[in-house]
Structure 1
Amino acid sequence: MSKSLDLTVAVIAKECLPGRVKTRLSPPLSPEGAAALAQVSLSRTLDTVRLLPARHRVLVMDGTPKAADAVGFTVVAQATGGLDERLGAICDAATGPLLIIGMDTPQFSADHVAPLLHDWSAGAPGLDAWIGPATDGGFWALALRRPDGALIRGVPMSTDTTGARQLARLSARGLSVGTLPELADMDHFSDALNIAAAIPGTDFAHAVQVAAQHMQDSLLLTGVRP
């Protein structure tokens, strides 16, 4: 699909600094190793978003992005407050159909949002919203044809029922909702290993392999069997 849609894709992200990002990867990774893997995940996500036929791309950042990551995106600072407040602020700032994606699913591809793009490129879109469930009970993507922060604020975030509660909120407001493929967030190193295995030959898979080898070498140096 080459025609640009009336769609804003917003990526919500955090600057990849050691000790401030993906802290649940450390241990077994060092804080520096966790930040490096987070950076690969973020850059890969942004590269995928650049392939989407969106009219606007926004990087909603906690911190300062690398220059290469900002290319093709309008960079704005995250709002204050909990995740529901920050997502709500993204919705309130949007002026048309909106797709919000996180930085923790490097396996995300254009195919994963193809049903949404197909529906919203039609003359009469069939659905008001789309949600991409995550395996941990949250969601990796949320799309609203008529963004409204009130559709998100107050939904408990980072729980194993967040996705279900967000879906219930949308349905209770009378919205018709489609479901995108379920993806795993990269919260723990075991998640990173599984994601890398699903996308072999990619920069992310290589980064995970390097991180695993570094861990193994460190254990050997300390005389600990891996």
Structure 2
Amino acid sequence: MLVVAKAPVAGLAKTRLARDVGFERAAELAAASLLDTLRASAEAVGVASCHLALTGDLRAAARSDDLASALAGWTVHKQRGPDFASRLAHAHLSMPADRAVVQIGMDTPQLCAADLVSAGDLTGEHDAVLGPALDGGWWVLAMRDPGRSAGLATVPMSSPTTYDDTWRALEHAGLRVGPTSELRDVDTVEDAEAVAHQAPDTEFARAWRDR
């Protein structure tokens, strides 16, 4: 498992959502979402096989103590690169080349371990597996060989065509690409309400209800 995430620091995390709920509140929600993501990842493969590629300072983050506890046993890497696409490619390239990698972000707190295991299992049939998000991006990328992920650095991220652009970049690299299930990213108040309703027992849903 590879989680690519930003430390949930007020003013830096969930900035679109912060326009409606405030910077401190957005950071708390981002922290809850990250905690759900870490939990699902650990349940899927065990902490010894979990990696976090991080940008930002967790010591300044909301719920920093909870995050530190959740990351016990994880391997944590610092993100490298001038933009998110480059940092994403570097994160994959830093992973062991002899094992498939399932990579996610921190914007889908409703995911469960079974979603991650299913994406990983599909690498038996495909070189890469991509899960679409409702906003045109993607929520998961599973790679049979993470060493073949350099093309990710060329993909425009955070756009309505990121999923399609990523699919094409992977195919251009000679990879056989397959899909997995669709999930909804949390970027707006509408997203947050829908995801909290869908997964009411998550840290994210509890944080959303406490507003």
Same fold by TM-score greater than 0.5: yes
The alignment of Structure 1 onto Structure 2 pairs a total of residues equal to: 199
Q: Which residue of 2 aligns with 1:220?
A: none
Q: Which residue of 1 aligns with 2:32?
A: 40
1:25–1:34 CA contact under 8 A, matched in 2: yes
Q: CA offset at residue 184 of structure 1?
A: 1.0
Q: From the superposition, tell whether residues 119 and 137 of structure 1 become closer, same or farther in structure 2 (CA, over 3 Å).
A: closer
Q: CA offset at residue 203 of structure 1?
A: 2.7
1:127–1:178 CA contact under 8 A, matched in 2: yes
TM-score (norm 2): 0.88
Aligned residue runs from structure 1 range 57-206, under 5 A? 57-65=50-58, 66=64, 67-96=68-97, 97-120=100-123, 125-147=124-146, 148-206=148-206
Unaligned residue ranges in structure 1 (runs of 5+): 1-8, 212-226
1:50–1:72 CA contact under 8 A, matched in 2: no
User: Which whole-Å CA distance do the structure 2 matches of 1:202 and 1:59 have between them?
Assistant: 20
CA offsets, 1:3-34, max 9 Å, x none?
xxxxxx11111111111100111232121000
1:207 paired to 2:201: no
Q: CA offset at residue 38 of structure 1?
A: 0.4
Q: From the superposition, tell whether residues 127 and 110 of structure 1 become closer, same or farther in structure 2 (CA, over 3 Å).
A: same
Structure (1 or 2) with the larger CA radius of gyration: 1
User: Which whole-Å CA distance do the structure 2 matches of 1:171 and 1:51 have between them?
Assistant: 31
1:31 paired to 2:23: yes
Unaligned residue ranges in structure 2 (runs of 5+): 59-63
User: Which whole-Å CA distance do the structure 1 matches of 2:172 and 2:154 have between them?
Assistant: 14
Instruction: In structure 1, give the amino acid aligned to 2:179.
Output: T
TM-score (norm 1): 0.82
1:15 paired to 2:16: no
Runs of 4+ in 1 over 4 A off after TM superposition: none
User: Which whole-Å CA distance do the structure 1 matches of 2:131 and 2:57 have between them?
Assistant: 27
3-state SS of 1:175 partner: coil
Which moved further from structure 2: 198-207 or 139-148? Answer: 198-207
Q: CA offset at residue 103 of structure 1?
A: 0.5
Q: Which residue of 1 aligns with 2:61?
A: none
User: Which whole-Å CA distance do the structure 2 matches of 1:205 and 1:186 have between them?
Assistant: 12
CA offsets, 1:32-67, max 9 Å, x none?
000000000001100000011266211111123331
3-state SS of 2:25 partner: helix
